[in-house]
Every structure is written in structure tokens, then in C-alpha cells.
Amino acid sequence: MMDNRPRRLDEILSACGSALSRKLTSSAAEIYVDLPAANAPAASAYLRSAGCRHVAVFAEDRVAEDSHDYIYYVFEHPDDCRYLVLRAAIDLDDTAFPSMAAEVPALNWQEREIQDWFGLEALGHPNPRRVALHDNWPDVHPLRKDFSIDTVLPPFEGEQHVYRPTLGEGVFQIPVGPVHAGIIEPGHFSFAVAGEPILYLQLRMFYVHKGIEKRFEQLTADRAVFLAESVSGDSSFSHGTAFCQALERIGGVEVPEPAHRMRTILLELERIYNHVADIGAIVTDVGFVIANAHASRLREEILRINEELTGSRLLRSVVCPGGVRRPWDRDHVSNTLAALTPFEREFNELVDMIQSSDSTRDRLERTGILNPDQARDLGIIGVAGRASGHDRDVRRDHPYAAYDSLEIQVPVYQEGDVLRRMQVRIDEVRESLQLIRAAESGLASGPHRVSMPPLPADQYALGSVEGWRGEILYWVRTAANNRIARCRVKDPSLNNWPAVVEAVQGNIVPDFPVINKSFSLSYSGTDR
Amino acid sequence: MIAQIISVIGQTALVLLFSPLITAFSRTIKARLQTRRGPGLFQPYRDLHKLLRKGMVIPETASWIFTATPYVLFATTLLAGLLIPTIATQAPLSLFGGVLAVVYLLALGRFFLALGGLDTGSSFGGLGSSREMTISAIAEPALMLAVFTVALGAGSTNLSSVAQAAVGQSWRFLSPSQMLAFAALFIVLIAETGRIPVDNPATHLELTMIHEAMILEYSGPCLALIEWSASMKQMVLMTLLVNVFFPYGLSADGSPLGMLISVALFVFKLLILALAVVLVETGNAKLRLFRVPELLAVAFVLSALALISTFLFGVHGG
């Protein structure tokens, strides 16, 4: 199936001539091209004009091996199932790389992470302040190889993070967080308001930065799976799967078909339980609590199915490189998944209840609008992207697990308000139920995993999964002895926070919680 | 004289002790409708007991207004509670024009609460106070107009006289003016007690709060007084509604058996009204803040219509 897919990237690359001709490697999933760092902005501009999306940028310290740092730029094209990765080498005596954040706002935080973690300056960045390391850190760069993970930093008093001042008659500032009233993680929101309407919002994240990307470099590949699962606890199976896919590509391992289908079923169950919880949380934030009571109950039904299938309610320790950890009994699976039929009926009742509530609709419609232009400029992905006209879904565009043999309907709306972000979730829950049934009906008996050979050193690959929030991207390079040399984790939350800033502008303060909830971003996944 | 002292003491005890139970009843029904069990009918009492024993944290920026507010609020609300007939047609006290005093005592309490919210200089307190004032600016006229409608019918603003007049005309509530006034007061009740669709008393989201935002800085005994006052205010307003419009069972003679029946009927009426409020709360989402004035404008129009129809159709339904 994959071979029949269009391969637009080949055309685009050859049309560019010699500038993008230094192909490093090419596989069924990725193309790597080498280019001088100075040419990267022009190359990105060319690729974007050819219809590509600039997905990500990240760095790697290879000074010890080949006296260079590398910056990687990841692109995708709607008519190609592969990712294109441009690699720009940074010489030892050069400590800067050209910034593209002014043209591609989606790269804003990612470039600043490279500044903070690698000490490479993003030349021409419009807002080059620290983002990942807070101001009470000394000037260290933790992802450099010469920074030992057990370094104990001396106490350091840094400058306070400076927020843009709030000026004007009757304009004042409302600081919220970083510690919040609900059971959520820390993040600081600073609103500038004139009465109730919000003029602008400033965000501060990375309060729970745990150095996960550094920690990966201390672990062997099979133990690192558990770390990937804990990047964002509500997406543990998606994160684990994305990481395993990267390892499987590096090892050249073909996952057996039954394992593909098992992974598909579990990925969709993870999507359902989170979407149902979010639908409930959105209506709670407008005070329609009774619908949340039912949503919470329905989420519990799915968690019980998870437990019955895997022994883990939140699908921890289930996926492993080469497949899944335990085999499934065919009859047990179909008996367990039979519970999805009453679930679907009750889910439809819940949706009816929400949609027939005029007062709920009144709160959600035209609230927190992220219009399609803003979404495209900021590179917003996942649920929020699809509610704002951005027709992307990794399951369909870069098929993995059993998705290349399944038909996937991707819901897309243009209005970009809270109501549509909830509607995307509703549609996706229904689609997920269909996908689970389709995956289950084709579940043949066979091995649930293949054993992984020791990974070759110094190889690299991407792994990507459409988590319930959106595209989860892993880039892994192996070291000797089955270890990880570098693991870049890109959770959709990191990508989508700027959308919240845009969407709240012009709304009133009491609508912020429901707008924020409609994006439902992970603090842990952002901060890592 | 002695009878009046007894009735003052009795009603004080009734308002103080019974009001948390209405709060608990509402919460329990709400929990059941949400398929939860709820914490039980004695939770507000346990909460008050706990808060009264706790220490207080008073912000450094707070002035005397901050500490005075809970006492002013508590005293005015309790006093308002003594001005309304609960189980007998005769209220224990009658001050400065009866029902007008009730409305303004409650307004005085709210005024101080808003000041208390502003006093600490925290941004949430300011938000809450400004929202509370926006809402009460419309809720109060609606309340006044509806009250006038009732007073016109009775020929007096004294609540005891109003209740006495109402007892004599048991089907009076079917007249258009009374029904409109009741509808207006029901909306005002929801707004004044901070319930969905106007405010959400159960939310943890500071940014959406109205009443709760004003009292975020309070703790310990001060918070207990404020919470208690909120329960009492709810009971005062509910009593006003049930006894003015449905005065059945108000004991006029004061015989022991009559009193017993009055108490039972009074409790029953309050619980029915609480149930109605909970049903509204459960079936609706909270209104967008800027829509709340629209809802209260509806209440205002209803009470204006009630007043007009008093003159068109008369108090007795024509």
C-alpha cells in the first residue's frame, strides 16, 4: 500500500537542483538531506512554497564524534508519506544557527530550546529570551555531552522573568498560577485585561522540566521505553509506540501483523478515554456538570477495558520494541471489546444531551476562535488544527501500526471555536470505535512480538504517532551497547501552546478556562 | 414583650441552625442528579465547625475593612432574617418599612463583601467585586419592583401585614401580577444566591468565579461567618418567596399544634423551592458573564409587568 502513495518530495527535491541534492539516506519513511546551515532558511522557504509543512527543528551534539553540532529540520508534504529531514552542520568555532522563527512562528519555542540546551544562538530570533531553562539557572547547557547528568549546580539567583508591561487607562494584569486550584500541573498565565476582555496573554511553561531528553542518553533502548511512556502520563501508549517505532526502524525489524493490530486497538482506546474525559471537562467548565458525570463514567468503562486487555488501566508497560509484551487470547479480546457496543450507545446519549443543551452551545460556539490562517502560521496540529481547517492526521498521512490497511475519516472544521474542537473529539471517538472494530475483525493469530536484535550503533530514525492530542514525534540516535545517544521528544503540547495565546484574545476572562480546556495540552509533555 | 423576645430568640435559632441544612439539601440533590452520593446533610455544619476552630491568615495589605466585613455581613443577614415571617404571620421584628429594610440590609452586607474583596488588592478579589456589583445593579431594581408589586396588593410594605393579607386570599398567587412577580423573584433568587446559570458555587476556577472570588482571601472563622451568611441569605430570600406567595400554614394564632404544622409546612415549602433551584442548576450551563445582565433584565421586565398588571387586572386576579 505504501508503495502506491504519491512521492511528491522526490519531485520537489529534484526541482530544486543542486542545493538539496546531498542525500544522506533515504528509506520508506524518511529522507535525509545534508546542507550548509546558512542555506537552511532559503531551503525552508522553498519547501514551504512547494506546499511542505515545517514540522520541527532540533539539535544534536556530535562534537566528540565528528566535531560538529547538527541542526535538524523536519518537513512533511500532504502528498508524501515520508518525512524530509534537512541536516545542517554547525562548525566547532561557530556557535550560532540562522533563526526562522520570524517566518515560521511554529519554530519559536523549539529554537529557543536549542539556545537553552545546547548554547547555540538562534541568529535573528525575534524574542530570544530563555524558554526551557528558567532564569534561576546559571548559564549551563544541559544537553551538551560535556554536561554530566549528575552535575550539582550551585545556588544561583537569576533575574526574574520579565513580562511585557501592561499599560493604559483601566488596563490591569491578572497573574494566574503557576500553582492552580484544580489537580493540574503548573504553568503561569499573565493576562492583560481591560475590564473583562483579554487584551493579551503571556505564558510561562517549563516549571516541571525534568531533563527527560538528557535521561534518555543514560538508558538502554529497552529500558528507555518506560521513560518514553512517562513523558505525558495520559498519552503513555502513544509515546511508547512512537519511541518503539523509531527503534524498530533503526533495527530494521518488521513488527508482526497481529502486534500492529493490537497496537492500533490500544492507540484508539487511549484516544477514546482521553477524548471522552475532555468532552466532560469542557462542559464542566461551562457549568454543565451533569454531562461530565456521565462522561467520567464512560471514561471509566474504557479504563476497565484497558485493564482487562492489558492489565494496565492507563496502558503502561504494554508496548515494547518489536510488538507488544503479552499475547492476546482472541476470544477474550472479542468478549472484552463487546463492551464497546453499550459504550457507543451511551456515548451517543451523552452527545445528544450536550448538543440539545442550548445554554451549553451558547457558551461554546464562537468562543476562543483560532482561525485557519492563524492555525497554519503557528503550525497547529492535532485536534485543534483539525478544528481550524488543518487537514492533517499522522494515521492517514504517515501510516504506522495497522492504519495503512484501514480507512480513516478525518473530521475537519473551519470555524476553529471551542464547539468545533469538541466536535472533532466527538467525531473521532466514533471513528475510533469503527477503527477498533475493523482492527479486531482482522486480528489473526500469530506472534505478538519479534525479539529485537541488538541495535546497531550510530543509526538514527524518526517515529511518529497521532496521539489523541496530535502528532507525537520521536527522533532517536543509537549509541554502542544498545544505548541511546540522543532522543528528541516532540509532544503536540509543545507545538500548540501558542494557539491558546491567539485564541483567547478578545474573549472575556471567565471564558479562559473553557478555551484552555478545549486545547487540553499537557504541561509535562511540554516541559519534559 | 416576653412573647416578642421569645419569638426573636426562636427565629434567630431557626435561621442560624436551619439555613445550613437547606444548603446541604441542595448539594445532596445536586450530587444525586450527577450520579454522586454527596457528602451528606451534615457537611455544612461540619465545615462551619472546622473553620471556626482554625487559625486565620490575614493578608498584609488588608485594612480594617477586611476583618470587619464578615461581622457586618453576618449581622445584617441575620437581622434581615428576623424581619421576615417564617412560621407565624408575625415577624419578630419590623424596622423601617419592613421589606425595604430586608432589601437594604442585604445590600449593605453585599457592599461590605465587595469592599472586602477589593481591600486586599488581589486581582481575583477585584474581579469578583466588580462582577458582583454589575449583577446586583440589575438584580436589586428587579427585586424592589417585584416586592412593590406584592406590597401594593397588601397595601403595606410591612412583611407581617403582607403575609396576613396573603393568608386571607389563598388563591391570590394565580393572579397575573403575582405570577409575574414570583417569576422575577425566582430569577433574582438564583442570581443573589450565586447559582448556575449565574454563578457556579462549586467551581475551582478562580477566573470564572463571582461570589467565591471575593472571598478567596478569607480563612478560618471569618470564612465560616461568610459561608454561614451565604446560607442564611439563601434562606431569607427563599422564605420571602414561599411565604409571600404561598403563605399556607402560616400560623396566625400561635397555638402549639398550629406552630408544629407551620414548621412542617415551612420546611416542606423551602425544600420544594430548593429542589426547583437545583433542577434549574442541573439542566443548564452557566451563562456567559455578559449574558447574565440579559437574564436579570428579563427579571426586571417581569417585575415591571407585574407592577403594571397590578393596576390593569387588580391584585385578586380580576
| Residue-wise pLDDT tens digits, B146-195 | 888 888 878 888 888 887 777 766 666 678 888 898 999 999 999 988 88
Calculate Rg over the CA atoms of chain A: 23
A360 touching B, CB under 8 A? yes
Quick one: DSSP state of residue A528?
-
B-chain residue closest to A365, CA distance: B288
Q: How far apart are the C-alpha atoms of A279 and A270, rounded to whole Å?
A: 14
So what's the ipTM on this one?
A: 0.82
Residue A367 identity (one-letter amino acid): T
Residue A358: all three cell numbers together: 442550548
pLDDT band at B299 (very low <50, low <70, confident <90, very high): very high
Q: Do A286 and B202 touch (CB under 8 A)?
A: no
A353 touching B, CB under 8 A? no
| A194 SS3 class | strand
Positive/negative CA dihedral, A149, A151, A152, A153: negative
- pLDDT score of B317: 42
Residues of A in contact with B208 (CB under 8 A): 285, 510, 513
The C-alpha of B230 sits at a distance from chain A's nearest C-alpha, in angstroms, of 20
Mean of pLDDT over chain A: 88
Contact between residue A508 and residue A196 where contact means Cβ atoms under 8 Å apart: yes
Mutate to test the interface with A, among B207, B280, B289, B290 (most CBs of A within 10 A): B207
Contact between residue A235 and residue A382 where contact means Cβ atoms under 8 Å apart: no
Mean of pLDDT over chain B: 87
Torsion over CA of B15, B20, B22 and B24, rounded to 10 degrees?
A: -170
pLDDT band at A5 (very low <50, low <70, confident <90, very high): low
Residues of A in contact with B284 (CB under 8 A): 287-288, 357, 359
Q: Is the pLDDT of residue B270 over 80?
A: yes
Q: Do B289 and A360 touch (CB under 8 A)?
A: no
Domain boundaries, chain A: 2-123, 171-204, 212-527
Residues of B in contact with A511 (CB under 8 A): 288-289
Q: Do B123 and A509 touch (CB under 8 A)?
A: no
A356 touching B, CB under 8 A? no
Contact between residue A488 and residue A472 where contact means Cβ atoms under 8 Å apart: no
pLDDT tens-digit map of B127-154: 889 899 988 888 999 998 988 888 887 8
Which range among A227-241, A500-514, B24-38, B304-318 shows the weakest confidence by mean pLDDT? Answer: B304-318
- pLDDT score of A1: 42
Residue A130: all three cell numbers together: 530563555
Contact between residue B210 and residue B292 where contact means Cβ atoms under 8 Å apart: no
Identify which has the larger pLDDT, B252 or B141: B141
Q: Is the pLDDT of residue B259 over 90?
A: no
Contact between residue A301 and residue A269 where contact means Cβ atoms under 8 Å apart: no
Residues above pLDDT 90, as percent of chain B: 38
Calculate Rg over the CA atoms of chain B: 19
A458 dihedral zone (left: phi>0; alpha: psi -120 to 50; beta): left
- Multiple choice CATH, A2-123, 1.10.3720.10, 3.30.460.80, 3.40.50.2000, 3.30.70.360: 3.30.460.80
- Multiple choice CATH, A212-527, 1.10.645.10, 3.40.1180.10, 3.10.20.600, 3.30.750.24: 1.10.645.10
pLDDT tens-digit map of A240-270: 999 999 999 998 898 998 899 999 999 999 9
Domain boundaries, chain B: 2-313
A512 touching B, CB under 8 A? yes
Work out whether strand A30-36 and strand A83-91 pair parallel, antiparallel, or are unpaired.
parallel
pLDDT band at A225 (very low <50, low <70, confident <90, very high): very high
Residue B135: which of B190, B89, B90 has the closest Cα? B190
pLDDT tens-digit map of A397-421: 888 888 888 889 999 999 999 999 9
- Residue the block writes with cell 475510533: A432
Residue B189 identity (one-letter amino acid): L
Q: Do B288 and A511 touch (CB under 8 A)?
A: yes
- Residue the block writes with cell 409546612: B265
pTM for this model (two decimals): 0.88
The C-alpha of B130 sits at a distance from chain A's nearest C-alpha, in angstroms, of 9
The C-alpha of B121 sits at a distance from chain A's nearest C-alpha, in angstroms, of 11
State mean pLDDT over A167-175. Answer: 83
Residue B95: which of B110, B107, B79 has the closest Cα? B79
Quick one: DSSP state of residue A473?
E
Distance of CA B298 to the CA centre of its chain: 19
State mean pLDDT over A63-79. Answer: 89
Count CB neighbours of A317 within 10 A: 17
Name residues whose C-beta falls within 8 Å of residue A118's C-beta, 6 or more positions apart in sequence.
A59, A61, A69, A141, A143, A144
Residues of B in contact with A353 (CB under 8 A): none
- pLDDT score of A2: 46
Positive/negative CA dihedral, A217, A222, A226, A228: positive
Name residues whose C-beta falls within 8 Å of residue A101's C-beta, 6 or more positions apart in sequence.
A107, A108, A111, A122, A125, A126, A127
DSSP-assigned beta bridge partners for residue A33: A23, A86
Count CB neighbours of A124 within 10 A: 15
Residues of A in contact with B280 (CB under 8 A): none
- pLDDT score of B149: 86
Q: Do B207 and A297 touch (CB under 8 A)?
A: no
DSSP-assigned beta bridge partners for residue A193: A172, A198
Contact between residue A425 and residue A279 where contact means Cβ atoms under 8 Å apart: yes
Residues of A in contact with B35 (CB under 8 A): 293-294, 297
A182 touching B, CB under 8 A? yes
Q: How far apart are the C-alpha atoms of A384 and A471, rounded to whole Å?
A: 11
The partner residue sitting opposite A287, judged by closest CB among B34, B36, B286, is: B286
The C-alpha of A436 sits at a distance from chain B's nearest C-alpha, in angstroms, of 29
Q: How far apart are the C-alpha atoms of A177 and B204, rounded to whole Å?
A: 13
State mean pLDDT over A390-396. Answer: 90
